[in-house]
Amino acid sequence: MTVTDMSQRKKFFANDNVYLPHIAIIEKVIDETPGVKTFHFNFKDEKLRKEFSFNSGQFAEYSVLGVGEAPFCISSSPSRSDHLEFATQQVGKVTNALHRLGVGAEIGFRGPYGNGFPLDFLQGKNLVFVGGGIGLAPLRSLIWNAIDNRDKYENIDIIYGARSPDDLCFKYDLDAWDKDKTINITSTIDKEDKSWSGRVGFVPKVLEEVAPSASNTVAIVCGPPVMIRFTFPVLIKLGFTPEQMITTLEKKMKCGIGKCGRCNIGNLYVCRDGPVFTYAQIKNFVSSEY
């Protein structure tokens, strides 16, 4: 039938209806940056709490009932499952409503959706994570997953940047990864700032300077579309083949399950056949639509 085999995907339906959200309760709210928050949450239903599982890179549709629903990746790692996390920037109706919620508030959750990162393909390889701004959210799920299964992967390099020091997300992660001797992390900000003594420069440029080896390596890229577009040519220059470059894309979504039509790139739906894609998959298509 369609492009992607869905039969192995785990389905946690409420009442056999894929559109019905599960109720979850917010347990913690972290202010990442002005405008970005991370929410820690857990399902109200005990049974679901125990049974639920997902893969890094998958996303879910989160509801504020009565306001609407929006897709965000699950930013926590499957290897640390005492609670779940997602991060969101305040940009519109649903996110404004989410940002007004505090600990104890109830939200709707539908998921996990999407294909997730291809762990089998990544095993035994060097991993280079290239992230920008809130784009670190899906990457951090995989980074922590990789750290918790460290011997499955070779070198881990992280290049992460934001507009300014205030815009760096997950600062607690950046500190932890900095301390981890088995990882190389390079943080950067776009322009000079008095409070920043580290590297300065746009992420694609810093990637070029760090110049990780392409041999037996997979690059995983996530950030603002403009950052992704400029990162790919740099990776190609460094010798990465299109199959060695992975990204996770974002599109306007409503159903999250490949039915409502709006998140398509060609015959692929970002919600169903993605959001994780290799550069090989998308480069043919739509130079201007990802």
* Alpha-helix runs per DSSP H in the chain: 46-51, 93-99, 119-122, 136-148, 171-179, 203-210, 225-237, 279-283
Does position 192 interact with another protein (CB under 8 A)? The reply is no
For another protein (CB under 8 A), the number of binding residues is 52
Does position 66 interact with another protein (CB under 8 A)? The reply is yes
Question: Where in 166-185 is the site for another protein (CB under 8 A)?
Answer: none
Pick 172 or 285: Cβ nearer another protein: 285
Does position 103 interact with another protein (CB under 8 A)? The reply is no
Pick 207 or 257: Cβ nearer another protein: 257
Does position 267 interact with another protein (CB under 8 A)? The reply is yes
Does position 106 interact with another protein (CB under 8 A)? The reply is yes
* CA–CA dist 34, 57 (Å, integer): 25
When binding is defined by CB under 8 A, the residue of 78, 112, 212, 258 that contacts another protein is 258
When binding is defined by CB under 8 A, the residue of 8, 15, 195, 197 that contacts another protein is 15
| Cα angle: 173, vertex 175, 179; to 5 degrees | 115
Minimum CB separation of residue 140 from another protein in Å reads 21
Applying CB under 8 A, the span of 114-122, 144-152, 199-207, 281-289 interacting with another protein comes to 281-289
Within 8 A by CB and 6+ apart from 180, the residues are: 147
* CA–CA dist 168, 133 (Å, integer): 6
* CA–CA dist 183, 16 (Å, integer): 43
